[in-house]
């Protein structure tokens, strides 16, 4: 007898094994960054521009062939080191504050952690089943005022 979940799509990403090509591509990206950092600038580009272009190209290379998360952090670190937002500690601080200091980014990060934990425990499936089995919650006389009340509470809370 076959299980119902045999044909189900797996939603949680599987951890990839890091083979040698992962490390080779990482070293190539670091080399791209180093080449652009130490190469003399091409005529219309400033030395700072060369560092930023090299960092950006290496980030694209890493995003494409290696991973998504840590190349973003690598890029932010390298932009701070390049002096994109100023020299020294103040420049590094400015890059990180502009990247993750915006309210939208912080709210998104906290929401990802919160909803990721709820999803990992399996509560989202329980909540969805609860909503789908309640017949009276889908009436327009209940649903529309409930949505309006939620929106009002959200605007009063943030306003």
CA–CA distance, 49 with 99 (Å, rounded to integer): 19
User: What pLDDT score does 14 carry?
Assistant: 59
User: What pLDDT score does 4 carry?
Assistant: 54
77-116 core/surface letters (b: 16 or more CB in 10 A; e: else): ebbbebbbbeeeeebbebbbeebeeeeeeeeeeeeeeeee
pLDDT tens for the chain, residues 1 to 159: 455 555 545 555 555 567 889 999 999 999 999 999 999 998 899 999 999 999 999 999 999 999 888 999 999 999 999 988 888 888 888 888 888 877 777 788 788 888 888 888 888 888 778 777 877 666 666 677 877 887 788 777 665
User: What pLDDT score does 77 carry?
Assistant: 92
On whether both 58 and 126 belong to a single domain, the answer is: no
Q: How many domains does the chain have?
A: 2
On whether both 32 and 90 belong to a single domain, the answer is: yes
On whether both 114 and 49 belong to a single domain, the answer is: no
On whether both 46 and 63 belong to a single domain, the answer is: yes
On whether both 88 and 47 belong to a single domain, the answer is: yes
On whether both 25 and 77 belong to a single domain, the answer is: yes
HEC per residue, 99-122: HHCCHHHHHHHHHHHHHHHHHHHC
In a domain, 8, yes or no: no
Which residue, 78, 100, 122, sits at the end of a domain? 100
In a domain, 5, yes or no: no
Instruction: Give the orientation angle of helix 20-38 with respect to helix 47-65, to 10 degrees.
Output: 170
Range of the domain at 123: 105-158
């Amino acid at each position: 007898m076959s299980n119902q979940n045999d044909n189900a799509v797996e939603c949680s990403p599987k951890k990839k094994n890091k083979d040698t090509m992962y490390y080779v591509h990482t070293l190539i990206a670091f080399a791209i960054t180093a080449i652009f950092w130490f190469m003399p600038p091409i005529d219309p580009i400033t030395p700072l521009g060369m560092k930023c272009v090299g960092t950006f190209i290496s980030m694209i290379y890493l995003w494409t062939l290696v991973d998504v998360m840590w190349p973003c952090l690598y890029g932010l670190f390298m932009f701070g080191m390049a002096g994109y937002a100023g020299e020294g500690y103040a420049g590094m601080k400015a890059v990180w504050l502009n990247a993750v200091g915006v309210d939208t980014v912080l709210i998104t990060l906290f929401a990802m952690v919160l909803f990721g934990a709820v999803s990992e425990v399996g509560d989202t499936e329980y909540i969805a089943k609860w909503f789908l089995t309640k017949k009276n919650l889908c009436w327009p006389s209940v649903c529309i005022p409930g949505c309006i009340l939620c929106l009002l509470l959200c605007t009063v809370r943030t306003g």
